[in-house]
A = this chain, B = another copy of it.
């Protein structure tokens, strides 16, 4: 996690508007929930999210062989949990997330509610998970939530079937 004096935080601080985005608010809430010892208490939201933003050139330089970094896997997990929570908040339905990633960084994430698959996404090159800017992170999350909401609208009965 970046510290206050870390120079990488500076370009991110410009994205103050993105931090106010509902999806980002949800993501930050989930990250703060894991801070059992209060060690991130002094950090602002942009600092907490600093590791989610990786410049494209840096990302392309990460090798996709070998096991994905545990930090990347944690961020991937918390990102998709935030998507699930945001869908739940918007639809009022209970959403299950099932994520399967093999050691080569390929896999699938599924969001389901009762009999309906509301979102199914193939994961590729998990090693390089990250977004160029906070705004792109916010947009990616919001897009997934919107797609899911549209599917729930299209199949309201299946989403509530036993």
A-side residues, CB < 8 A to B, are 96, 98-100, 108, 110, 112, 114-117, 120, 151, 155, 158, 161
Query: Which chain B residues lie closer than 8 Å to A158 at the CB level?
Result: 115-116, 155, 158
Nearest CB to that of A97 among chain B residues? B100
A112-B112, A115-B151, A117-B117 given; name 14 further pairs at CB < 8 Å.
Answer: A96-B108, A98-B100, A98-B108, A100-B100, A110-B110, A110-B112, A112-B120, A115-B116, A115-B117, A115-B155, A115-B158, A116-B117, A116-B158, A155-B161
The residues of B that contact A108 with a CB separation of less than 8 Å are 96, 98
Q: A108 CA to B109 CA in the complex, in Å?
A: 13
